[in-house]
Chains A and B, each alone.
Chain A
């Protein structure tokens, strides 16, 4: 009976909680932002290459379909930044009791959604 009584990973046993959700999302958004840094570098390189090259880049970066990755990167940026500040407080030993850690987690979600909507409406859409 392969796998009959093997131990399971915690995420298969416990109900989903805000703490575990933000933990894996922090890593996922970080990776997405690394891809965003590639896009930013290409954008700056096009800018330094002159008006014609920048116009070519803007044909992609300013297109309608590219609004989707831009809004996604904005979401990742806001979540990774706000949750990163939460991590820095933990590094200082602050905010580990159950009520605080859940409140700070939901604050991250709320601030991320509001900031993503605000930046998207101001700059992207």
Chain B
């Protein structure tokens, strides 16, 4: 006899809710990050120096802006999912676990908005 309700069996959800979604998004962002991360690393090697003119000029180019936003977005989502698993594994207290998960969510969201806004500001700047 199964303790899983027929509805939950149909939905494919265990007691963790959405575990398949978590697993899938971690892999989806991982696959996206392979070319994006390689592009980011190789791009840094092609910059003449790290002066304001060189870096801002690089980010200003449309292809750079687009790929950089995709890289930052995929990396942030991938990081959020990974940090969530680490917190769930090692932070045992109920209050501290919820606080850590919330803190991670706020930090990831805030930093992603800051990074994407910064890229757009340079992209649309003169």
A binds B: yes
Q: A51 CA to B125 CA in the complex, in Å?
A: 13
Assuming A27-B86, A37-B75, A123-B44, is B30 touching A87 (CB within 8 A)? yes
- Residues of chain B with a CB closer than 8 A to A48's CB: 117-119, 121-122
Q: Is the interface of A mostly helix, strand, loop or mixed?
A: helix
Task: Count A interface residues, CB 8 Å.
Answer: 29
Contacts of A55 in B (CB 8 A): 52
Q: Does A62 contact B (CB under 8 A)?
A: yes
Interface-located stretch among B7-15, B76-84, B95-103: B76-84
| Chain B residue with the shortest CB-CB distance to A33 | B79
Return 26 A-B CB contacts under 8 Å, by A number.
Answer: A30-B79, A30-B86, A31-B82, A31-B83, A31-B86, A33-B75, A34-B83, A37-B72, A37-B75, A38-B107, A38-B111, A41-B111, A41-B115, A44-B72, A44-B114, A45-B114, A45-B115, A45-B118, A47-B52, A48-B118, A54-B55, A61-B50, A88-B27, A88-B34, A119-B44, A119-B45
